[in-house]
Amino acid sequence: MSAAGPMHVEVHQGRGPPLLLVHGICSSRAQWRPNLAGLAQSCTPVVIELLGHGRSASPDDPDDYRVEAYFERFENVRRSLGAERWAVCGQSFGAGLTIGYALAHPDRVSAQVFTNSNSAIGPARPLPPPDEQAARIAAFERRGRAGLGALDFYPKRTGRLAAEVEDELVADAALINLAGMARTFAVTAPRLSMLDRLGEITTPTLLVNGRREKSFQPRRDEAAARMPALEIVDLEGGHPVNLDCAEGFNAAVGAFLARHA
């Protein structure tokens, strides 16, 4: 199976260079629905879905879930677009992948954006050995969909977002594959922390921070301290700031890309 094969990709019409959009855990392409029209004024949105999520496949081989395998898939998508360089944007869990990708391929990334992400800006966790990975995967699958639905970040109808956005997020959550999610937690998640590498970043970087998520604000400040060139836009949103403050998010990203991408 090729590294690009399992991953669902959608290229939306836009007026500028491509922008890769990578959603967070338990989300889907629906994460970006309120942003597509606004972002299309300054870029060409390229939406992917993580393995085990939405319309993407759920390979059996844990190696397919390595962050390096995602970097290879991203590169395959970029090449398929005929783009020498592009911009990237990661939301929550997805930010660990996009920041890591920009570190691995700085010559291919013109600019990057990320939102509140404890996965990317939190402390590193050790990667468990293969036997422990297998045990974690089996334990997660035994808990079944009830265990998946009990996760704090599993999409639920809250009334805080537009009804059509919540409906799509909830419907897509039903597509999540348990085995794929188990491998995501066991293999991908422990490798997402970029905290100790923030000082290496040379790519122009924007953090769109949802300041209502109080637990993330110390991470925001630490990222600013470690990256003096980091641009930050604080919005009155929570963890899914691109959904809570779609208009502000679109404007901030559009202005940033106009200067850097």
Write the pLDDT tens digit of every residue in 241-256: 999 999 999 999 999 9
Helical ranges in the chain per DSSP H: 36-39, 67-81, 93-104, 118-121, 130-149, 163-173, 178-183, 217-226, 241-244, 246-260
Residue 146: helix, strand or coil by DSSP? helix
Distance CA 157, CA 214 (A): 22
User: For position 208, what pLDDT does the model report?
Assistant: 98
pLDDT at residue 177 is higher than 70 = yes
Task: Tell whether 136 is covered by a domain.
Answer: yes
Q: Report pLDDT digits (tens) over 115-169.
A: 999 999 999 887 778 898 888 888 888 999 998 999 988 999 988 888 999 999 9
CA distances from 171 to 175, 250, 252 (A): 7, 24, 29
Task: Tell whether 2 is covered by a domain.
Answer: no
Structural domain including 79 reads: 9-260
Task: Tell whether 59 is covered by a domain.
Answer: yes
- Among 80-84, 114-118, 129-133, 193-197, name the one with the lowest average pLDDT: 129-133
CATH number of the domain enclosing 167: 3.40.50.1820
Average pLDDT over residues 55-81: 97
Instruction: Collect all residues with Cβ–Cβ distance below 8 Å to 137 and sequence separation of at least 6.
Output: 62, 179, 182, 183, 186
Proportion of the chain above pLDDT 70, given as a percent? 98
Burial category of 117 from C-beta neighbours within 10 Å (exposed 0-12, middle 13-18, buried 19 and up): buried
Q: How many domains does the chain have?
A: 1
Task: Tell whether 1 is covered by a domain.
Answer: no
Average pLDDT over residues 102-110: 98
Question: pTM surpassing 0.85?
Answer: yes
Average pLDDT over residues 8-22: 97
Task: Tell whether 3 is covered by a domain.
Answer: no
Task: Tell whether 4 is covered by a domain.
Answer: no
User: For position 1, what pLDDT does the model report?
Assistant: 31
Q: What are residue 240's phi and psi, to 5 degrees?
A: -85, 65
Distance CA 207, CA 42 (A): 18
pLDDT at residue 229 is higher than 80 = yes
pLDDT band at 5, cuts 50/70/90? Answer: low
Distance CA 27, CA 186 (A): 18
pLDDT at residue 3 is higher than 50 = no
Residue 170: helix, strand or coil by DSSP? helix
The owner of tokens 């000082």 is 199
Average pLDDT over residues 85-108: 98
Packing angle between helix 93-104 and helix 67-81, nearest 10 degrees?
Answer: 70
